[in-house]
Amino acid sequence: RLEAELRAARHDNEVLARTDSLTGLWNRRHFEDTVETEIERARRYGTPLSLLTLDADHFKRINDSHGHHVGDDVLREVAQLLGQQIRRSDLLCRWGGEEFMVLVPETDGDRAAAMAEKIRQRVAAHQFAGAGRVTVSIGVGQAAPGETADTWLRRVDAALYEAKQRGRNRVVLASEPATSAPAA
């Protein structure tokens, strides 16, 4: 009995270590531990794997204008809205601050971008208590064959940055990774 209780306590501690305390979502640690497995699974079965990286626009203004408690409420509401727009097979994580990641198995970049657009519209239409309207910018990208997780995340992050640079409240699909020229 004691051994079972210890196993249960260890499991509970592991879940706590992988969960974001504010939103209840998986955290960055869990994402980093999971992404390699998902990339390998997609390669093994020849299925697409996409990623959405999402950032609340002008979030600092919300905290500065309305206080951190309202900012926290906005993050919790964004997390709920995201959870309502994704499938059970998708992995939703709070990456940090006002940034979220959604790992989307068996989904190509175009379908993931369509999903991201629905999320963007849903968040933009929502009335946030204490903060009014909030928008999000989203970078989207499909993992390329042989691409490392780090390279893929950087590519999708660049798409998010481009969405912000182009005026925010938009979805940008990451460009394909550069391929090296064949050896002569």
What is the rounded distance in angstroms from the CA atom of residue 51 to the CA atom of residue 119?
Answer: 13
**Is 162 a known active-site residue?**
no
Cβ-Cβ contacts under 8 Å for 56 (sequence gap 6 or more): 62, 74, 75, 78, 98, 99, 134, 135, 136
User: How far apart, in whole angstroms, are the C-alpha atoms of residue 177 and residue 141?
Assistant: 10
pTM for the complete prediction?
0.90
C-alpha to C-alpha distance for 57 and 137, rounded to whole angstroms = 6
Q: Of 14, 38, 98, 106, which residue is the catalytic one?
A: 98
What is the residue-level pLDDT of the chain in tens, covering all 184 positions? Answer: 778 877 777 766 676 678 999 999 999 999 999 999 999 999 999 999 999 999 999 999 999 999 999 999 999 999 999 999 999 999 999 999 999 999 999 999 999 999 999 999 999 999 999 999 999 999 999 999 999 999 999 999 999 999 999 999 999 999 988 764 454 4
Structure tokens at 47: 């299925």
Beta strand 127-128 with 132-133 is antiparallel
Please tell me what DSSP assigns to residue 141: E
Backbone phi, psi, residue 143, to 5°: -65, 135
